[in-house]
Structure 1
Amino acid sequence: MNFLLLPDKFKGSLTAKQLIQSLTKGILKAIPGAGFHSLIASDGGDGFLDAISEYRETEVITTETVDPLGRKITSTMLVDPSKGEAYIEMAKASGLVLLAEEERSASKTSSRGTGIQIREAMRRGFRKIYVGLGGSATNDAGMGMAYEVGYRFLDEKGDSLKPIGANLALVHKINREQVIPELRDTRVFAVNDVNNPLYGPFGAAAVYAAQKGANRQEIELLDRGLQHLDYQVRTQMGFEYADLPGTGAAGGAAYGLKCFLNAEFITGTAFILDLAKIPRLLRTRKFDYILTGEGKIDSQTLSGKWINGVMELGRAFEIPVVAICGRLEVSPEELKKAGLTAVIEAGNRNKPLEYNMSRAAELVESAVYKYFKGR
């Protein structure tokens, strides 16, 4: 029996590599002769550069940049000089992981740090830039990134605004006089698997701002700010992208990349699967199961996340897809309707979160063994 292992990480407890190891051990206990092929996954969020480095010959470039609150930090990007390509992971300079929990503030944070990296990639001559979105601490609609390539957002008095979420509603004029010339010759790709629009009940603020430190009142203000910025973009630049699926990714960073850097949208799942030549593999080798998963499977899982992309792959090649998670927060029936053969919840609901996270490897191994024993 052959297994294709395509899991995402269990955030905070298992990397994708560690999860693959646990899956392999559990299956081998149940089916000693099983064969495996695995892939380090990324939907464009945390781990994007790790996934790229697995399948491309790249070099690491260290850059001086700033974190979401504007403090100086050092970060990295990957480049492929032979192809003129640069790969940037938004979480590396603008991510939640860079802030203590009490520092999180969707109103005060900015995507400037990622913009500095984009500008540096252009300065070094890279003319294809892939930006992996996800894990961001921001809700500035990409104003910070746009600022670093020369855009200025002015208030009614003509003063330049700090590119943060709280100032979205104050934008009166978008000044393009200082936009760097390199942008004209650069193709930018926004890589993510989120389908959310920019604003509204399923938009960037409503769905994601709470985990970035926003309370209910701030979420409403941020949502109105996103609407306001979109109005200014439509009237001054002629772009109507707010309803485009995916523009709400990373606090609207995808929207900003589209409007201000003319970015093309590509799905993270398809990008990584193609990079690893998985579709080609499935045309030449038979697999009995595809295993995927992530730390928590919830309603967002079906809004374009990695698992959803893997389910589409399973449907295309008529291979059963089984997902494993630490915590299941949506009905198995709903997931089965969407295309999963089964969902395995590895976590012990009678134990605290700390117990489940510290023992995630053995819990996954045990749960997978129990599922496949006798199959």
Structure 2
Amino acid sequence: MNYLVIPDKFKGSLTANEVIKSITNGLQRVDKSSSVKSILASDGGDGFLEAVACKIMVQKIYVDTVNPLGDKLRAYYLLNKDTKTAYVELAKASGLELLKAKERSAKNTSTFGTGLLIKDAIKKGATNIYIGLGGSASTDAGMGLAAALGYSFVNEDGMLLNPIGDNLSKVFKIERNATVTILNRIKFYAVNDVDNPLFGENGAAKVYAKQKGATEKDIESLDKGLEYFNSVIKHSLLLDHSFVPGAGAAGGTAYGLKTFFNAEFISGIKFLLELAEVPKILKSNKIDYIVTGEGKIDSQTNNGKLVKGVVDLANQYNIPVVAICGKLDANEADLNVMGLNNVLEIYNPKKGVNYSINNAAKLVEDGIFNFFSASRRKTQKKVKVSNIFTKFNIF
């Protein structure tokens, strides 16, 4: 059997590389003669730089910057001097994982630190900048990033505003310094992992702000702030990108990149799968199964996440996909829309979430082993949606 393994990370428990190792171990326990190829990929969120570094000759550039709350931080981006191309991962300076649970606050955080990384890349000669979005801690519509690169946001009294989500609704005037014109020669690419608009029921605040520490009151306030901020943009810059698919990515950072820097939106999944030459692999090799996965498979998976991208690509070549996840929070109808017929879940409700997190590597390996052992015995060729525990009783 020939397998291609392309998982995302299991946030909070396993890196993508660790997931690959567990899946590979499970497959080789079934049959040591199996051919297992693996791809380190990302949907543009956490792990973006690692996926790029696997395929492109780049230099790691460390910079003194700040975290989402403005505290000092040392982070890095990647630079290819020959092509004058920089690769920046928003999560490195503006990511949720940089904050303790009690520090998380969608209304008090900013993307300013990511802007400082981009600023350094431009100083070092980069004229093409790819920004991997995902895993953000803020809902500031990219205001912080723009502030780091020469924009100023002023309230009605003429006071300079701190570029955080809570101040979106206080912006009265947008100013830019002379250096902003230099940015016209820079080509920005927002490597996007979702399709959400800026505001509204499916917007940045209402879908993602809760996981960033926002209360219900905060969410309503942020959503109104995003809508108001867009009205200021329409009035002052005569632009409205609020409902461009993906504008709501990373708390609206994608919107800010497009509005202030004319960034092109590109699919993170497509970009990285092509970078890893996955289509070429599928054309030139007989692959029996593709195995993918992520920490949680739910309705958001269908909004441009890695698993969805892998499934869509596999369908082009009629290759079956098996997905394994930490937690499955989608019904059969949802999974049918995603094109997922084989889903394995390692979460055991009798043992709790912490057990799954602490033992994820072994659980993934055992889950894969049990599924493919059963398939090999032809007792179960496909698993329609399902909890791996009830199917295989692996505990």
Match of 2:194 in 1: 194
Alpha-carbon deviation of 1:100?
1.1
Alpha-carbon deviation of 1:170?
0.8
TM-score normalised to the size of structure 2?
0.93
Alpha-carbon deviation of 1:155?
1.1
Q: Deviations over 1:218-238 (max 9, x none)?
A: 110100000011111112112
In 2, are the aligned partners of 1:209 and 1:251 still within 8 Å (CA)? yes
The separation in 1 between residues aligned to 2:63 and 2:298, in whole angstroms, is 36
Match of 1:214 in 2: 214
Letter in 1 for 2:42: S
The separation in 2 between residues aligned to 1:247 and 1:76, in whole angstroms, is 25
Match of 1:37 in 2: 37
Letter in 1 for 2:327: R
Q: SS at 2:69's partner residue?
A: coil
Q: Which moved more, 1:59-68 or 1:349-358?
A: 349-358
Q: How does 1:319-338 map to 2 (within 5 A)?
A: 319-338=319-338
TM-score normalised to the size of structure 1?
0.98
Q: How does 1:162-177 map to 2 (within 5 A)?
A: 162-177=162-177
Match of 1:116 in 2: 116
Residue 317 in structure 1 maps to residue 317 in structure 2: yes
Q: SS at 1:180's partner residue?
A: helix
In 2, are the aligned partners of 1:332 and 1:343 still within 8 Å (CA)? no
Alpha-carbon deviation of 1:281?
1.4
In 2, are the aligned partners of 1:321 and 1:339 still within 8 Å (CA)? no
Match of 1:228 in 2: 228
Letter in 2 for 1:371: F
Alpha-carbon deviation of 1:177?
3.6
The separation in 2 between residues aligned to 1:253 and 1:179, in whole angstroms, is 21
In 1, are the aligned partners of 2:197 and 2:244 still within 8 Å (CA)? yes
Match of 1:361 in 2: 361
Q: SS at 2:42's partner residue?
A: coil
Alpha-carbon deviation of 1:333?
4.3
In 1, are the aligned partners of 2:258 and 2:264 still within 8 Å (CA)? yes
The runs of 5 or more residues in structure 2 that have no matched partner are 377-395
Q: SS at 1:55's partner residue?
A: coil
In 2, are the aligned partners of 1:332 and 1:342 still within 8 Å (CA)? no
Match of 1:295 in 2: 295
Q: How does 1:332-351 map to 2 (within 5 A)?
A: 332-351=332-351
The separation in 2 between residues aligned to 1:324 and 1:9, in whole angstroms, is 11
Tell me how large the CA RMSD over aligned residues is: 1.1
In 1, are the aligned partners of 2:299 and 2:334 still within 8 Å (CA)? no
Match of 2:131 in 1: 131
Percent of pairs with identical residues: 49
The runs of 5 or more residues in structure 1 that have no matched partner are none
The separation in 2 between residues aligned to 1:366 and 1:183, in whole angstroms, is 51
Alpha-carbon deviation of 1:193?
1.5
Letter in 2 for 1:25: N
The separation in 1 between residues aligned to 2:89 and 2:63, in whole angstroms, is 13
Match of 1:352 in 2: 352
Letter in 1 for 2:314: G
Alpha-carbon deviation of 1:261?
1.3
The separation in 1 between residues aligned to 2:318 and 2:85, in whole angstroms, is 34
The separation in 1 between residues aligned to 2:157 and 2:91, in whole angstroms, is 34
The separation in 1 between residues aligned to 2:210 and 2:41, in whole angstroms, is 26
The separation in 1 between residues aligned to 2:228 and 2:326, in whole angstroms, is 39
Match of 2:392 in 1: none
In 2, are the aligned partners of 1:128 and 1:186 still within 8 Å (CA)? yes
The separation in 2 between residues aligned to 1:227 and 1:345, in whole angstroms, is 38
Q: SS at 1:355's partner residue?
A: helix
Q: How does 1:145-294 map to 2 (within 5 A)?
A: 145-294=145-294
Match of 1:6 in 2: 6
Q: SS at 2:54's partner residue?
A: helix
In 2, are the aligned partners of 1:154 and 1:171 still within 8 Å (CA)? yes
Letter in 1 for 2:339: G
Alpha-carbon deviation of 1:334?
2.5
Match of 2:75 in 1: 75
Match of 1:91 in 2: 91
Alpha-carbon deviation of 1:179?
4.1
In 1, are the aligned partners of 2:46 and 2:134 still within 8 Å (CA)? yes
Letter in 2 for 1:296: K
The separation in 2 between residues aligned to 1:333 and 1:2, in whole angstroms, is 29
Residue 47 in structure 1 maps to residue 41 in structure 2: no
The separation in 2 between residues aligned to 1:78 and 1:62, in whole angstroms, is 9
Residue 370 in structure 1 maps to residue 377 in structure 2: no
In 2, are the aligned partners of 1:151 and 1:179 still within 8 Å (CA)? no
The separation in 1 between residues aligned to 2:359 and 2:190, in whole angstroms, is 35
In 1, are the aligned partners of 2:269 and 2:304 still within 8 Å (CA)? no
Q: How does 1:54-65 map to 2 (within 5 A)?
A: 54-65=54-65
In 1, are the aligned partners of 2:85 and 2:128 still within 8 Å (CA)? yes
Runs of 4+ with >4 A deviation: none
Q: Which moved more, 1:209-218 or 1:174-183?
A: 174-183
